[in-house]
Amino acid sequence: MYGFEALTFNIHAGYLEAIVRGHRAGLLTAADYNNLCQCETLDDIKMHLSATEYGSYLQNEPSPLHTTTIVEKCTLKLVDDYKHMLCQATEPLSTFLEYITYGHMIDNVVLIVTGTLHERDVQELLEKCHPLGMFDSIATLAVAQNMRELYRLVLVDTPLAPYFSECITSEDLDDMNIEIMRNTLYKAYLEDFYRFCQKLGGATAEIMSDLLSFEADRRAVNITINSIGTELTRDDRKKLYSNFGLFYPYGHEELAVCEDIDQVRGVMEKYPPYQSIFSKLSYGESQMLDKAFYEEEVKRLCLAFEQQFHYGVFFAYMRLREQEIRNLMWISECVAQNQKSRVHDSVVFIF
């Protein structure tokens, strides 16, 4: 049962909910995507985006444009929106908003550590980091030789510190350890975020538990598919699954032993909410699975806006913007590579 949020929510978060709903109205529509899909060059894309909320971010970019430039500038728009909401937010909304960025923080940590292992310049790596995941001491990650040092020197003062308890070892960092570290951190982060939302209660808990459960289930499926044919053992694979979600615990037992995509399909089809995902795919096919997952995610995120007085709208907006940026990246790549016939392979319409 909800706890009378309608009486008190607007006192602290009413302004920001209105702001985020306004931002939602600025998301690209199907008509916008149809225009973008017909562009011949990246400059055409820039011209079409000039009439959208991305216009001011792209207008000063010189030709010739690159796909990464378009993605970077569109991401800046997302970052500006987020920072505006964060600086206006009070507790517990500010903590909720910070939780949304921890995933990017984990990605940045892994990027710096992997790049350092490959003897890349730290400045070059910092330029590739996602702006939402930056923190003050991120450059110091380059000096760590193992996870214990990583934690002791840098991460102990960051929000990721609690997530390191399961993966602190003195083993030197290598590709496999880094991959396990990435997934273990993300698992711990998702579980922590889930617990936090449950503590908030009300509509936030209900809506966010659905969204985060879907995220956990999707990650379980992706980890399974990506680890097929690798040296990751079944036990190690199972340890990377989150301890919540529709698949927990019996679905995880079955996913851990899957050896091909059809076995994964067999597991997912036992769960009615996920039957529609695989119904779009033929047997043995995995190429369109990502798009099917994104479509399902977008449907759930849009439904979050149907209800008021909860924090799920902020999470939903951030995720929808990220999906929009992914769409723009894909359209730009297809235009740049002169493969417009494939543009609809990965574009997910939001409205």
- The nearest distance, CB 187 to another protein, in angstroms, is 13
List the one residue from 223, 258, 267, 301 that touches another protein (CB under 8 A).
223
Residues facing 146 on adjacent strands: 172
**Residues between 117 and 136 with contacts to another protein, criterion CB under 8 A:** 118-120, 124-125, 127-130
Q: What x-and-dash track marks residues 58-97 binding another protein by CB under 8 A?
A: ----------x--x--------------------------
List the one residue from 319, 330, 335, 350 that touches another protein (CB under 8 A).
330
Identify which of residues 204 and 323 has a Cβ nearer to another protein in the complex.
Answer: 323
Any residues with CB less than 8 A from the CB of 7 and at least 6 apart, and which? none
**Residues between 259 and 288 with contacts to another protein, criterion CB under 8 A:** 286-287
How far is C-alpha 44 from the chain's CA centre? 28
Interacting stretch for another protein, rule CB under 8 A, among 21-29, 92-100, 104-112, 207-215? 104-112
Nearest 5°: CA angle at 157, between 152 and 211? 115
Closest CA to 205 of 320, 294, 309: 309
As to burial, measured by CB atoms within 10 angstroms (0-12 exposed, 13-18 middle, 19+ buried), residue 20 is: buried
Under rule CB under 8 A, residue 257 binds another protein: no
Closest CA to 210 of 236, 218, 225: 218
- The nearest distance, CB 289 to another protein, in angstroms, is 9
Any residues with CB less than 8 A from the CB of 48 and at least 6 apart, and which? 32, 35, 36, 39
Residue 176 has, within 13 A of its CA and on its CB side, a CA count of 8
Residue count of the chain, please give it.
351
**Residues between 310 and 329 with contacts to another protein, criterion CB under 8 A:** 326, 329
User: Residue written as tokens 């796909």?
Assistant: 67
Identify which of residues 183 and 204 has a Cβ nearer to another protein in the complex.
Answer: 183
List the one residue from 324, 333, 335, 350 that touches another protein (CB under 8 A).
333
Interacting residues with another protein (CB under 8 A):
68, 71, 107-108, 110-111, 114-115, 118-120, 124-125, 127-130, 175-176, 178-179, 182-183, 222-223, 225-227, 229-232, 286-287, 290, 326, 329-330, 333-334, 337, 339, 342, 345-346
